[in-house]
Amino acid sequence: MYRTEYPQPQFQRENWTNLNGSWDFDFDDQNQGIKDQWYQQEKLTQKIEVPFAYQTQLSGIDDQSEHSVVWYQRHFQTDQSTDEVTILHFGAVDFKADVWIDGQHVGTHSGGHTSFSFDITNFVKDGANHVMTVRADDPIRDEELTRGKQNWTGESTGIWYTNTTGIWQTVWLEKKPVTNLASVKYVTDIDKGIVEISGEIDNFIPGTGVTANIKFGDDLLTKVTIYPEDSTFEWGINILGNHIFRMGYHNEGWLWTPEHPNLFTVDFETTAPDAVTDKVSSYFGMRKIHTANGMTYLNNRPYYQKLVLNQGYWPEGLLTAPSDESFKKDISLAKKMGFNGARIHQKVEDPRYLYWADKMGFICWGECAAAPVFTQKAEATLYKEWLEIIERDYNHPSIVTWVPINESWGVPQVHIDRQQQHFTQAMYHLIHSLDTTRLVQSNDGWAQTETDICAVHNYAHGTKDDKETYDYYQETLHSWESIIRNPPVWDIFAEGFKYQGQPILLTEFGGIGYNKQDADKGWGYTGAKSDEEFISEYQRIMKAVAKSHSLNGIVYTQLTDTEQEVNGLLTVDRQPKVDPEVIKKANEFFIRAFVDAPQKDIEIADILDTDMN
């Protein structure tokens, strides 16, 4: 099994070659490969199925022991013509990658979670057989690297999971004309009804034109052409035009929401004098996210985010989904349970997941893996990865919030240390300087500095028999004053910072542990030993949360069981633990307390007395 779908559907060309599949492979535990020049067509002794890491079942190796340096090798052939360039793409390689073609070093990339590419035109010949060698260096015990939920002790335990080393997303070749469309960026303005499209042209020739054919469904809305003066271009296009009543003020119209995930497709053509035409397929969604009056707004309407925490691990593939259908299934099951989005936790998710979130209508909070320590090297690594994250994922309408830091990971003294506070502020402002269209959460959970959302983590809901803890949980969530003044762990804001009216969201809670196969195996924040007890616990916690007058959204922990964590609403192999409709009814009941009660003058107490089943 290997992944065959196009890896980056936001920017797609037809002329590409998937390099996934069987590769030669070896461990280099003595780190002798470079010294002994393994890149000179050294015969590697094992086989691995790319893009699955050696620690996974689907790799064919399934070895969870510690091997920090690994090598890959693959033969390939090109049919490159003189008016084309050949680009070698990697979806992600954890952590540092060096690449050789026929023994010649092509390039290096550091950062285990973002995509990168190399122009290998001068390294290949038309019709020739070539050998590509990749060395991946993933020092598992280096705490200065952005590891996220991967353990750095060599053992999966607690909230830390099995490592992913080396290639873990698709590898592919792409052919494109010498003069080509290098990138595009969409900024949508629903208030003016326009989309601003900007981009860059590689190997620009004076007289080059860029044409955009924009469709909604099968209807061609507009065809526009621009002849830029240099390699960059920008123009504003009136999309909604005379269709003002389709904008969503009177109905959902053409705007993107989870309920109506409307997308506009764009077919680009780049034509240069006496050159081959470059063709790229893309898409965008018209949507707006902002905050005001202590609430989040989607397309200028108050919008309640019902999110679920998604770790993005699969038992047979770890960070790599077994198939494209796996992404669709996760989103589909979450929506069936009444959630309208996910907080992708400590992982930069595969663009294919974001594509399906765009198409199926599913809000995403984008997050990055954290380093556990605060050092200059760790800071620099996180800065670099965020530059690459936003460059790659900017155009996905499903992403509405960026989360650069979680629970003070990497900034353990941020609640009192001004230097670490400066770092969280720097991350907040860096991301806003790159992306003006989304919200930024500075330190999800507690000890926040500058932030667009007041994000609170609270698992202090106890068990059904733990009345004291449960009463505290209900009291804490009662009003915004209680939430800020009675934090479950650290103060909600770091020393020197205070609440300034941001929307308050409960961004981690729940975590009901329930292992259907072995009730005594695994852990959760509370426990259940039967379907009935699991449902009762879920309803009990949701009723407590629903009594709050201040929460503007939730993130329930979590979508799936993950290794020793059995907190999921789904098992590790994506089977619902209870009927999804029961969870959906509890979630809908919960929303009524926030939405229907104020709008329809219904007493929250009356809603709370109704039956969730």
Q: Is the pLDDT of residue 600 over 70?
A: no
Q: What is the rounded (10 degree) CA torsion for 243, 249, 254, 256?
A: 160
Is 269 a member of any domain? Answer: yes
Do 97 and 30 share a domain, yes or no? Answer: yes
Which is nearest to 459 in space by CA: 385, 523, 378? 523
Model pLDDT for residues 243-288, shown as the tens digit of each residue:
544 444 444 589 999 999 999 999 999 998 988 899 999 999 999 9
pLDDT tier, 119 (very low <50, low <70, confident <90, very high otherwise): very high
Q: Provide the pLDDT for residue 1.
A: 57
- The predicted pLDDT at position 243 comes to 53
What is d(CA 161, CA 258) in angstroms, rounded to the nearest whole number? 31
Give me the mean pLDDT over the 185-195 stretch. 95
d(CA 516, CA 530): 7
DSSP 445: B
- The kind and range of the H/E element at 186 are strand 180-189
Q: Kindly report, residue by residue over 54-95, the tens digit of the pLDDT.
A: 999 999 999 999 999 999 999 999 887 778 999 999 999 999
Phi and psi angles of residue 477, each rounded to the nearest 5 degrees, phi first? -90, 5
Give tens-digit pLDDT for 217-255: 999 999 999 999 999 999 999 987 655 444 444 445 899
Distance CA 570, CA 561 (A): 6
**Residue 351 dihedral angles phi and psi, to the nearest 5°:** -55, -25
CA distance 609 to 425: 44
Q: How many angstroms separate the CA atoms of 264 and 174, rounded?
A: 25
What is the domain range of residue 191?
A: 180-275
Residues 167 and 195 in one domain: no
CATH of the domain at 266: 2.60.40.10
The answer to whether 170 and 91 are in contact (CB under 8 A) is: yes
Dihedral angle over CA of 338, 341, 347, 352, nearest 10: 100
| Dihedral sign (CA 370, 374, 380, 386) | positive
- Same-domain pairing of 440 and 553: yes
Walk across the sheet containing 232-238 and list its strands.
180-189, 194-202, 232-238
Residue with tokens 């650069």: 404
Using pLDDT thresholds of 50, 70 and 90, give the confidence band for residue 464. Answer: confident
Would you state the structure tokens that stand for residue 304, as one six-digit string?
A: 């309640």
- Are 116 and 98 contacting, i.e. CB atoms less than 8 angstroms apart? no
Backbone angles phi, psi at 206, to 5 degrees: -55, 135
One domain, residues 124 and 138: yes
Residue 107 forms part of a structural domain: yes
Residues 313 and 263 in one domain: no
Stated pTM of the model: 0.95
**Whether residue 384 sits in one domain with residue 345:** yes
For the cut 50, the answer to whether the pLDDT of residue 46 exceeds it is yes
Per-residue pLDDT, averaged over 399-403, amounts to 98
Residue 52 within any structural domain of the chain: yes
- The secondary structure of 485-512 as a DSSP string is HS-SSS-SB-TT----SPPEEEEEEE-E
CATH (domain of 400): 3.20.20.80
CA distance 25 to 387: 31
Check whether residue 557 and residue 447 sit in a common domain.
yes
Give the model's pLDDT for residue 248: 44
CB neighbours (10 Å) of residue 60?
15
Q: With bands split at pLDDT 50, 70 and 90, how would you rate the model's confidence at 596?
A: low
Residues 354 and 229 in one domain: no
Query: What single DSSP character describes residue 318?
Result: B
Instruction: Please tell me the distance from the alpha carbon of residue 158 to that of residue 505, in angstroms, as a whole number.
Output: 25
Instruction: Give the DSSP H/E element, type plus range, for residue 546.
Output: helix 531-546
